[in-house]
Amino acid sequence: MAEIKALDELREWAEQFCSMGKHDPLMFADKIQAEVDERFMELPLDGNGVPIRVGDVVAEKPFRPKTGEKPAEVVCMLLNSDGWAIGDCDPRGHWYGPLQLEHVKPRTIEDVLTDLTNEVAKQGHQIGLTAGEIIAKYADEIRELAKEGK
C-alpha cells in the first residue's frame, strides 16, 4: 500500500471530527486508499530516489559527460517478475535497472558556449596557436546539438 500524506491528514481530521459525534468520514479515506491501491502503482526510482517517467533524460551512474557519454531518453518501462527494466531510445534497445540510472540535464548549446569561453579565458593571451583546435572541438559539439534540436 502506497503511503499518501493527504490521506493520513484526512484520517487525522476524521478522527477529530468523529470524536464530536458526527458522521464517520474515515470510511471516505479508506475508500480513496482502496481505489488508489487498485488502480495505480508506484513509479520506479533512479539511483538517487527520483521517480522515472517515460520521456525523462537519464544516464548510467555515474554520468561522465566529459568522456563522451551521452544521456538517453526513457522510451519504455517494463515491470516483470525481476522488477523494473528501463528502455532508452538507442536503436539497439538497451535495458537498465532503475538503480543503475540517474536523471541528467541534457547538454545545451549554452553549456557548450560557456565551456568554450571558460577554456579561452584560461588560455589568456596565449590562445593564438590553440584557438583553432578549441573552436573546432566546440563547433563539432554545437553541430551535433543542432541536429538533436537542443
Q: What is the pLDDT of residues 112-134, one digit of tens each?
A: 888 877 877 777 656 555 666 77
Q: Residue 46 class from Cβ within 10 Å (0-12 exposed, 13-18 middle, 19+ buried)?
A: buried
**Phi, psi for residue 87 in degrees, rounded to 5:** -105, 140
What is the C-alpha separation between 23 and 73, in angstroms, rounded? 50
The per-residue b/e assignment along 54-85, b for 16 or more CB within 10 angstroms, e otherwise, is eebebbbeebeeeeeeebbebeebeeeeeebe
Q: What are 147's three cell numbers?
A: 541536429
In the chain, where are the structural domains located? 5-39, 57-103, 109-148
Residue 20: what pLDDT?
Answer: 61
Write the pLDDT tens digit of every residue in 78-116: 898 989 999 886 667 788 899 999 999 877 778 888 887
Asked if 77 and 86 count as a contact pair (C-beta separation under 8 A), the reply is yes
**Cross-strand bridge partners of residue 76:** 87
List, in sequence order, the alpha helices (H) in the chain.
5-18, 26-39, 109-123, 131-148
Q: Residues 4-35: pLDDT tens digits?
A: 777 778 778 777 776 665 556 667 777 788 88
- Cα(116)–Cα(113) distance, rounded to whole angstroms? 5
Three-class SS of residue 72? strand
Q: 3-class SS at 24?
A: coil
**pTM of this prediction?**
0.57
